[in-house]
A and B are shown apart, each in its own frame.
Chain A
């Protein structure tokens, strides 16, 4: 196996997943200097590894290696009609449901519809994967609180993990806004727990994108009480592009996604992220950043983009973390923590402090489940069984227990 330049494919499922795709691919095109028609804007830079996420057509224009999947056409059609994306994506890599009705924010519906069409979708994925010499893994974007992204996404995760068992699957999973009255999907606890079971079992890493935290951040930084999807998506795109930057720009330390050794103990692979500085792209940046400032900020628990960050306990520990700094950085600054200019940073943190988020989810799940609220919507789907919900909840409970046990000193050496 060649170990030089592998490739990654992105799979975007559901409305949220595809909206994230829009922001993510726009960011990638800007960073790699590719215009709306896939043509490079500037000269080739030896460190620019476009082939990580793009491939070249016969006329040498760049095409994103992306699969866009939705059960209703609104978002994807909107993307295709956008001037930035209309001529960018390979139309063969788009799956839109024939009926176009969506999943109705119902995990079971999405899961069931996926069970009927997954082969067609897997064909697209496998075709694209087979076109590459070295396919290293997948980026998977979805929301776990709706219907398509959670239900269909769960099915696709199962199938992808089964088919590409040695590939890395990294999901960017958007968790519902937990603030009271903020979410518009009443059954999101059911959807989330059911999706969580698949997230526990199949992906290599899951980057938790907590909508509550994102909203709060966007409100504060963008100076609006009602941040739009564009605001949120720009933050998520920032996280996605920064976490993939090492592979896209030939990092020496993390040359490929396989080197991201951030989840040594499966299933403890749920990652929190935080970045600094957070800048409204529509305003002028007036602050001068330094390595010291960035590092100091990112190491604070409160910088994590998880709504339960303030619930971190003293005994919570970091299992593994990556601090990625970008900008005009003198390597000596990393040791001296002196000022540089144009520095930004992102932290990917695998910490036990994420467990409260899952506990909160379970709490909400239990509330609904105990009242057996809205279960009929799920039961009416053919391939759904209530036992699946309970199983899923147990899986999440186990996960939380795992997070508790890993805090113990003898966790690594126990039994050895």
Chain B
């Protein structure tokens, strides 16, 4: 690095002190020393004291002056961001050392020394002040306090210290001191006053080779101006300084150093070349910097301009993102992914430094950096917009856009892979979120991934299944049901929500899960990093498979999530539970078939207890019998109507309305059976009664046979598939179809099945009463009831093929209290 210090005195005598650093040498060139000697003298006096400074050679003084310039310009104290540390911070650090070191126990002395240090350094000019602070900071451990302690014993120091304490201002300019009173008020800095001071905190790999100042000559042995010296006189910095009429500080750097500074600039870190403006926060090129001797200050400025602009844009975007605090989980996942890519981006920038060893390779490298930074800016802008406007963007839209970028960006572009990696990362994260959400019992889809209409907590599980249509990729208030959401995915979502609810609700009632389904809680909850890695790999593998089908991106994303779900811990847990549930459900359906459609237990003229005892003697599934509650309620039509109360989660498969429907069928069949039983009792040979008995008995028997057969057909069809594996959703759907088929079967194809069932009930009742009358030998009553039964039969047969008008009329004719609630 070439460093210039150019001074202009009132006599227009310029003093050059130049240190020229290159890979081979540095040269100290001294031109005019006489006028500037006072400055060097003063520095030496401050550093070494009056006595020592008086006998010090000019050359030595120059050296220390050069050291001062080197520290101040080239090796200031910088923070982690590369910004120059404020001198006050360094001062505080030094004072703290006084506090912390061996003088702790001597509190008074500490205070005294602190005051002395503070007051002493205040007397110095700005550049010397900074130099002293830096040099003091870089003293070896313990040396500073040792030096202070030594000074304390100096009588002369004491007096001066007292005088200083009494008369000096607390802040501001140093008091005027007569020259004779100038003494060495500084502590011993000799340990660091060499070139090593310039090597501290260096982050360059440049090797610095010291050159003896004696080798710098203005004139050759023949008295001619040295060529190098002439070149220096014609140098750009000197011309600029002459032009603007004031000294300038300038420095040169190696191409590698410049490239490194560009890297740091893109990282938002200050350096000797590019600094951050404290007020605006913007990066800028330090004045009068140039890239080695082949370049110029102007060219350096030109080269740097576009990089500075891009770096500032990057800094701005990153600044915005840092202040974003997204609510939605997907947005947070996006930021996580972006953070990883920024790390990759920085690694990429550093990789470009590898081949930089001269100006040309540096230009190539920084061009590559520019391209990479440009691409990265796009990524950051995209993420910033998606996160900033998280309410406006749908998760799949974002994924889709990322995917589009991944496929359209030039594969040779250094950042092309960033899009792909982000996409994979996001899908992996989404998969893990799904998995973890499931296992922690939370609703799986939230936070910007998908949106589910608010589901009431007390919504029955069976009803939950009908909420499938409420799942969309929309935002509240926007009427969008994304048609691209896969039907299977919707079902999986509902399945997950259902399983989560079952797991959560039955967690408290663990007895049910553990004892009935024999599932231990530990089997259900198994979070681990291995699973996360496995899910991530699975996502990558699935994306590889879909690579030819990415034109339908949403479908691909759906497939990936479904696949992940199917192999995740959540699915393992859900699978375990669903297998058990489905097994129990199949038994439940068998139980329903036995309980509802086999009506050997009549409810007429029986108490509830008698009915329940009778049911228990039927040898139905004991386990299911113990879990369900059998209750009865008075029914005008059926006497006592039986119903089952099945707790959750079994009620998922047979919701209450369907159970009521089956109960209704049961009661209707029971009524027919009761009438048949009564008719059987009539064993008379009396022709009339025999005729009545035979007619009514046969019709009712045929009716019952028909109903039983139709139900048996439907149920056999339904239970035929029980050997095949199926999901909860599939079983629910199959049962729904079966119950609908049963409903149609009972309706016998009539336009108004409800009316039809009403008439069946009426006929059964009439037949029963007629049988009672016949048993009593009451011919008149029996005949009346038979006629009533026949009239019911007539209407019944008509209602099998009645038109709408007639149906309305019949409804009006039939008393309301006899109409069955169906």
Contact = CB atoms under 8 A, between A and B. Distances in A.
Interface in B649-706: 676-677, 680, 683, 685, 687-688, 690-691, 693-694, 697-698, 701, 704-705
B680 A258 contact: yes
B597 A416 contact: no
A137 B633 CA distance: 34
Contacts of B713: 331-332, 335
A413 B617 CA distance: 43
Given A4-B614, A261-B680, A330 B716 contact: yes
A331 B614 contact: no
A399 B688 CA distance: 20
A97 interface: no
Interface string A63-75: 0000000000000
B717 interface: yes
Given A259-B676, A261-B680, A332-B717, A252 B598 contact: yes
Contacts of B716: 330-332
B600 A261 contact: no
Contact of B708 (A250, A252, A330, A335): A252
Contacts of B708: 252-253
For chain B, the bracket of interface size reads 35 or more
A259 B694 CA distance: 12
Contacts of A332: 713, 716-717
A339 to B, nearest CB: 16
Contact of B688 (A2, A166, A265, A416): A416
Contact of A252 (B597, B694, B698, B717): B597
Given A46-B594, A46-B619, A259 B614 contact: no
A415 interface: yes
Contacts of B599: 252
Contact of B614 (A2, A253, A334, A413): A2
Interface in A1-32: 2-5
Interface string A389-416: 0000000000000000000000011111
B620 interface: yes
Given A264-B694, A266-B685, A416-B688, A334 B709 contact: yes
Contacts of A44: 619
Interface residues of A, number: 27
Interface string B430-451: 0000000000000000000000
Interface string A312-348: 0000000000000000001110110000000000000
A155 B731 CA distance: 61
Contacts of B717: 332
Contacts of A335: 713
A98 B614 CA distance: 45
B617 A416 contact: no
A255 interface: yes
Contacts of B712: 252, 331
A261 B697 contact: yes
B677 A261 contact: no
A253 B680 contact: no
Nearest to A45: B619
A355 B693 CA distance: 25
B623 to A, nearest CB: 12
A264 B677 contact: no
A416 B687 contact: yes
B135 interface: no
In this complex, the member of A2, A5, A414 whose beta carbon has the largest number of chain B beta carbons within 10 angstroms is A2
**Could you say which of A255, A331, A415 has the most chain B C-beta atoms within 10 Å of its C-beta?**
A331
Interface string B776-796: 000000000000000000000
A253 B683 CA distance: 20
B602 interface: yes
Contact of A264 (B601, B620, B693): B693
A193 to B, nearest CB: 22
Contacts of B601: 3-4
Contacts of B676: 259
Interface string B594-628: 10011111100000000000100111110000000
A413 B705 contact: no
A124 B701 CA distance: 36
Chain B's interface: helix, strand, loop or mixed, by majority? helix
Contacts of B691: 412-413, 416
B603 to A, nearest CB: 11
Interface in A126-168: 166
Contact of B617 (A5, A261, A334): A5
A166 B597 CA distance: 29
Contacts of A4: 600-601, 614, 617-618
A342 to B, nearest CB: 16
Interface string A254-288: 01001101001110000000000000000000000
A171 to B, nearest CB: 17
Nearest to A258: B680
A322 to B, nearest CB: 11
A261 B701 contact: yes
B704 A253 contact: yes
Interface string A361-381: 000000000000000000000
B709 A3 contact: no
Contacts of A264: 690, 693-694, 697-698
A265 B687 CA distance: 9
A264 B687 CA distance: 10
A265 B598 contact: no
A412 B712 CA distance: 33
A259 B602 CA distance: 15
B783 to A, nearest CB: 10
B602 A3 contact: yes
Interface core residue of A166, A250, A252, A413 (most chain B CB under 10 Å): A252
Interface string B4-19: 0000000000000000
A398 B439 CA distance: 83
Contacts of A258: 677, 680
Contacts of B597: 252
B142 to A, nearest CB: 92
A308 B458 CA distance: 72
A415 B620 CA distance: 49
B687 A415 contact: yes
A329 to B, nearest CB: 9
Contacts of A2: 614
Contacts of B620: 46
B723 to A, nearest CB: 15
A283 to B, nearest CB: 32
A413 B685 CA distance: 14
A221 to B, nearest CB: 32
A265 B677 contact: no
Contacts of A3: 600-602, 677
Contacts of B594: 46
A252 B680 CA distance: 16
A331 B709 contact: yes
Nearest to A46: B619
Contacts of A250: 598, 600
A50 to B, nearest CB: 11
Contacts of A5: 617
Contacts of B705: 253
A253 B672 CA distance: 11
B79 to A, nearest CB: 83
Contacts of A259: 676, 680
18 contacts: A3-B600, A4-B600, A4-B601, A46-B618, A46-B621, A250-B598, A250-B600, A252-B600, A252-B712, A253-B705, A259-B676, A261-B701, A264-B698, A331-B709, A331-B712, A332-B713, A332-B716, A412-B691
Interface of B: 594, 597-602, 614, 617-621, 676-677, 680, 683, 685, 687-688, 690-691, 693-694, 697-698, 701, 704-705, 708-709, 712-713, 716-717
Given A253-B701, A255-B600, A413-B691, 7 more contacts: A4-B618, A253-B705, A261-B698, A264-B690, A265-B694, A266-B685, A332-B716
> Which 3 pairs of residues, A with B, have the shortest CB-CB distance?
A46-B619, A264-B694, A331-B713
